[in-house]
Amino acid sequence: MLKTLIRGAGAGALAWLVYAAAEYADVGMIPLSRWNHTLSHEHWKWTVILLAAYACIGAAAGALAGLCAAWRFPHRAGAIWLAATITLPIAYVANLLRASPNRVDIISAAGCVLVCLAAGIGLRKDKSPGWWAYLASPWLAAAVMLVPYRLEGVAPARIPAGLLAVVGALAVVVTSVLLTRFGRLRMLVAGPALLRRNAVLLAIVLTGLTAASLAIDPRQAPPFPDASGKPAPDARNVILIVWDTVRADHLSLHGYRRRTTPELEQLAREAVVYRRAYASGDMTLITHASMFTGMFPSWHVAQSRSGSSGLPRGATTLAEILAARGYQTIGLIGNAGYLARPYRLDQGFAYYDDRSVLPNAGDEHHLRHAIRELLDFFMSTDEIERNMRPGFAITDQALSFLGQAARTAHPFLLFLNYMDAHSPYVCPSPFDQLFPRPQIRLHGSDAHALRREIHALKRPISPAERDHLISGYDGCIAYIDSELSRLIRRLKELNLYENALLIVTSDHGELFGEKNLIGHRNGLAEGIIHVPLVVKYPGTRRGANVTSLASHVDIAPTVLKSVGIPVPAEMQGIDLATLETAPARPILSESYQYTDRVGMHPRFAREERAILLGPMKLIVSTRGKKEMYDVIKDPKELQNLYRPDDPGATALGSLLSGWLMSAGKREASPVTLDKGMLDRMKALGYLQ
């Protein structure tokens, strides 16, 4: 019996590791070789952990299956091998059934059933192996499970899944029959050294995959370009830092109860803090386009409605203007979704690094999703969720550039986007445990399910869920704040700090259950559009606070004024240095209809515009809903002050309508995303 257990455990571990190798090729090698990915710093750690988990689970399943096979088919050669292989498709189908199966799931499940039938035939036939033995091998079984997902989109959607499953089954059987003609392959499905031969082949495959990953991975970024032209004397350098997804009221700089931004507070002692800065929209594409063009969304038309539109090719960006004046323009990107090159926000940057991190989590059909749930009982698996370059990688790259810039004394624009505070809120130790959080499992598919349920108004967020998300979020803000300290310290060491224009802001905020909303891209609540804005002007030594309304559209004019370049007439913002003495003016924020949100609930089938003037904020929806708040007295927007006969509301509404009617007729510039970019957007939560 012990011998049978050992043989079964070995066969099971081998079969599951074969699947693990195939899954690694699917999750890692294919995206890495075809799209702009780089391996995360935790990649090999989690690869080894997952391989060990597959081996352990396979050994346990194989030992049990081997006992059953030895009892039922005591004289059948290869029975333990076939029985161990059967555990793989059974587990795979069970994993698929945990969610609502789609068309591809049905096809893959049909392939798993075919593998089990082939193994059953093999267990009952006491003669030399036929086609069934090849189909029941873990090598072909793994291909049957995973290949349908890679072929998704090849077959027209109108063809029924059942018909595709039948055609696929016939193709697999024909392939198995053809394999019987290659006599040398028989050693992998029969014979006394069956396990040893497959183990040797697996070792070769794993070694090849590892070597190929290391060879393909663009871990080392391309070198920065050399500065060209003669440096201008006393030219001011510009550093624009965007903390992706950071809302103002979660910064200790703004009075938050947790000490999230001690480094930003230190900078604020030598800078100007704009206490009432507002995002031009509720998502990354809109707001960065406003920062770069100085225009509100209806004017720059880089939007993400049902179909995304990137920045129009005719738009003029801050980077283009500075590059034309001899500036080096460098962009180092954490958000490789809406800041990726297809959306054309890289216009004017001589160097634009938008590489994304290869996700380790895989998709829901991969067995590693179920494996991860088991690992959660023994260790934290949050790191496996990382799908963007971490803050320290962005800072390291920036420090490298600053060293080069100090040697050349050439003026530069350095744009840094940190995405660590974006969901799934994964940051390194000790920041991941900086603030106490309820120990509940809320990542990956669970987090997506929570978002869908709350947006569909099926239930409110629970206090434990909210605290869990917020504590992770706050820890990530503290982490990127610590990276700011590294950057400023190096600027001072290189004598680049004093004469630099340094801007720290956010593109938008995040909601945690307010108004039955989670995340962003879902409206113009204060938690989404009230953002931090700190500006350290060249030579400034005095901290100051400004409470006048500021907007993303003010960033480009402020930069141009500071470096002595005329501001184009099409820019709608003003120089922030003059904001305190400027007349009161309204500012605009916009939210569009996003396809994934509309699929969750009809309330998202609308567009919203908000106009702010003084303490008042009016939100107008294309569904007819209107809200007005005094956001100074009511920052949580609990009391809707809108009344149709209110003169103030009428005046704001008329101002908004007239403003939008004056928007130019700039033609939208559609974006086409390839498979790799679509997968990247899904990993970031932008697509479902």
Residue 230 counted as domain residue: no
Residues 176 and 243 in one domain: no
Averaged pLDDT for residues 640-669 = 84
> Looking at residue 162, what is its pLDDT?
58
Q: pLDDT per residue over 574-606, tens digit each? A: 999 999 999 999 999 999 988 778 888 888 889
Residues 317 and 407 in one domain: yes
Asked which of 154, 181, 216 is the last residue of a domain, the reply is 216
Residues 304 and 169 in one domain: no
Q: How confident is the model at residue 170 (pLDDT cuts 50, 70, 90)?
A: low
Q: pLDDT per residue over 46-68, tens digit each? A: 899 999 999 999 999 988 887 77
Residues 211 and 358 in one domain: no
Residues 241 and 211 in one domain: no
Residues 305 and 381 in one domain: yes
User: Quick check: 63 and 12 in contact, CB under 8 A?
Assistant: yes
> Looking at residue 155, what is its pLDDT?
56
Cα 59 to Cα 21, 82, 84, 362: the distances in Å are 16, 14, 9, 23
Residues 256 and 210 in one domain: no
Residues 141 and 246 in one domain: no
Nearest-angstrom CA–CA distance, 497 and 335: 26
Residues 598 and 665 in one domain: yes
Nearest-angstrom CA–CA distance, 312 and 298: 12
Residue 564 counted as domain residue: yes
- CATH number, domain of 358, equals 3.40.720.10
Residues 374 and 243 in one domain: yes
Q: pLDDT per residue over 125-155, tens digit each? A: 655 556 667 777 888 888 888 887 777 655 5
Residues in contact with 198: Cβ distance below 8 Å, sequence separation at least 6, in sequence order: 14, 18, 138, 188
Asked which of 149, 184, 216 is the last residue of a domain, the reply is 216
> Looking at residue 5, what is its pLDDT?
80
Q: pLDDT per residue over 311-342, tens digit each? A: 988 899 999 999 999 999 999 999 988 998 88
Nearest-angstrom CA–CA distance, 255 and 257: 6
Q: Which range, 75-84, 587-596, 661-670, has the best average confidence (pLDDT)?
A: 587-596
Residues in contact with 129: Cβ distance below 8 Å, sequence separation at least 6, in sequence order: 78, 122, 186, 189, 190
The contacts found for 452-455 with CB under 8 angstroms, 24 or more apart, are 452/600, 454/513, 454/516, 454/517, 454/518, 455/516, 455/517, 455/518, 455/522, 455/597, 455/600, 455/601, 455/604
> Looking at residue 266, what is its pLDDT?
96
Report CA 422 to chain centroid distance, whole Å: 8
Residue 470 counted as domain residue: yes
Q: What domain count does the chain have?
A: 2
User: Is residue 356 predicted with pLDDT exceeding 60?
Assistant: yes
User: What pTM, to 2 d.p., does this model score?
Assistant: 0.88
> Looking at residue 492, what is its pLDDT?
96
Nearest-angstrom CA–CA distance, 595 and 522: 11
Residue 227 counted as domain residue: no
Residue 293 counted as domain residue: yes
Residues 562 and 665 in one domain: yes
Range of the domain at 114: 2-216
Asked which of 187, 216, 245 is the last residue of a domain, the reply is 216
Residue 225 counted as domain residue: no
Closest CA to 451 of 460, 439, 441: 460
Q: Which range, 32-41, 371-380, 524-533, has the best average confidence (pLDDT)?
A: 524-533
User: Could you tell me whether strands 518-519 and 511-512 are parallel, antiparallel, or unpaired per DSSP bridges?
Assistant: antiparallel
Residue 223 counted as domain residue: no
Residues 506 and 626 in one domain: yes
Averaged pLDDT for residues 504-515 = 96
User: Quick check: 419 and 335 in contact, CB under 8 A?
Assistant: yes
Residue 226 counted as domain residue: no
Nearest-angstrom CA–CA distance, 510 and 251: 13
Averaged pLDDT for residues 270-288 = 96
